[in-house]
Structure 1
Amino acid sequence: MGSRFRSRPDREPATGIAANGLPRESVWDYPRPPRVEQLDRRVRVALGGETIVDVPAALRVLETAGAPTVYVPPSSVASGALRPAPGASHCEWKGAAVYFDVVAGGSSAKRAAWSYPSPSPGFSMLAGLVSFYPALVECRLGDELVQPQPGGFYGGWVTAEIAGPIKGEPGTLGW
């Protein structure tokens, strides 16, 4: 990690098997720049008790100090569940993101999903795929309820096998 980080957090051990039966992974072993890889776990997303995504696999993005983000094909999202939302953001690696409000089950979650319509070179496999903020909608990997990445800014999916500490809380900006 070296001098790129202003502080060196105490890291959780990433050895052994987690409560969900998967090998532990440290976010500090994830690469920078990020890596996109296949995720062979069932992915479900729901809002207001209505399932809007249920797929057997997805892609995930791994980046140093952050929880993985999970991306699904837009064709796997229930029709009418995504509504374009105002605003955009820019990731130094993936490029310009657009946002969606999620509407389902009589509920609405503002800017609860995002996508990269034309990602930067090296991330073309994410073009048009959709990710969701676990703090705003219910996300599951397998049968495990996903916890949101700390702090509310990042959209990482925290599950039992993910060891941190994970950036997002106050004091982690330099990570």
Structure 2
Amino acid sequence: MPPSPPPPDWLQAARDAWAWRGQQRPPFAVVPGPGQVSVWDFPRPPRLAPDTREVVLRWGTLEVARTRRALCVLETAHPPSFYLPWADVARHLLQPAGGGSYCEWKGPARYWNLVDGGRQLPGVAWSYPQPLAGAEALADRVAFYLGALSGTIDGQPLRPQPGGFYGGWITPELVGPFKGAPGSEGW
């Protein structure tokens, strides 16, 4: 397979804007204790890592997803975003939402609404059907904002990444601080 062409200048500029890239922790980072992981040790560009712990997502009492085949995007300063295989998601509950966004590492995102009868959660999920080079494994997966959903990983509750823009999930072993919290705009 021939090598990918270099990214356009605007994309490279967005990638170069990040000061923290996982090689060292900033002085304000929490030092991890035994069994803990610092999000400041995650790389940029992000690394995709399989996670075989059981992930369960619910909307009230309705199960939205259950898998042991999550793929985590590990990116400096962020709790991981968990991308679940479409086969392990109640796909009939998802309908395309309008709009989109562009990640300098993953490419163009598509958004999804969660719909059950008359209930709807707009823009609660996103996917990368045509990811950039290096993120190809995300093509057949979907990620969810926790917000109105509840989730567990191996029975332990998940917490949403602060701020509402990013979709990371805070798992019990993670220490931050996490991007998205007030004052984190410059990270």
Local SS of the residue matching 2:92:
coil
Q: CA deviation at 1:159?
A: 1.5
Local SS of the residue matching 1:83:
strand
Q: CA deviation at 1:106?
A: 6.1
Q: Distance in 2 between matches of 1:93 and 1:106?
A: 36
Q: Is the 8 A contact 2:51 2:68 kept in 1?
A: no
Matched pairs, number: 165
- More displaced, 52-61 or 63-72? 52-61
The runs of 5 or more residues in structure 2 that have no matched partner are: 1-17, 21-25
Q: Is the 8 A contact 1:47 1:103 kept in 2?
A: no
Match of 2:30 among 12, 17, 30: 12
Local SS of the residue matching 2:48:
strand
Q: Distance in 2 between matches of 1:91 and 1:26?
A: 23
Amino acid at match of 1:163: V
Q: Which is bigger in relative contact order (C-alpha 8 A, separation at least 6)? A: 1
The residue number in structure 2 matching 1:85 is: 97
The residue number in structure 2 matching 1:33 is: 45
Instruction: Let me know the Cα RMSD of the aligned residues.
Output: 1.6
Q: CA deviation at 1:96?
A: 0.3
Q: Is the 8 A contact 1:9 1:165 kept in 2?
A: no
Bigger Rg, which one: 2
The two structures have a TM-score, normalised by structure 2, of 0.83
The residue number in structure 2 matching 1:19 is: none
Q: Is the 8 A contact 1:43 1:142 kept in 2?
A: yes
Q: 1:14 to 1:75 in 2, by over 3 A?
A: same
Q: Distance in 2 between matches of 1:40 and 1:124?
A: 19
Q: 1:105 to 1:118 in 2, by over 3 A?
A: same
Structure 1 segments (4+ residues) deviating >3 Å? 104-107
The two structures have a TM-score, normalised by structure 1, of 0.88
The residue number in structure 2 matching 1:65 is: 77
Q: Distance in 1 between matches of 2:148 and 2:165?
A: 12
The residue number in structure 2 matching 1:174 is: 186
The residue number in structure 2 matching 1:20 is: none
Q: CA deviation at 1:109?
A: 1.2
- Identity across aligned pairs (percent)? 44
Q: Distance in 2 between matches of 1:122 and 1:40?
A: 21
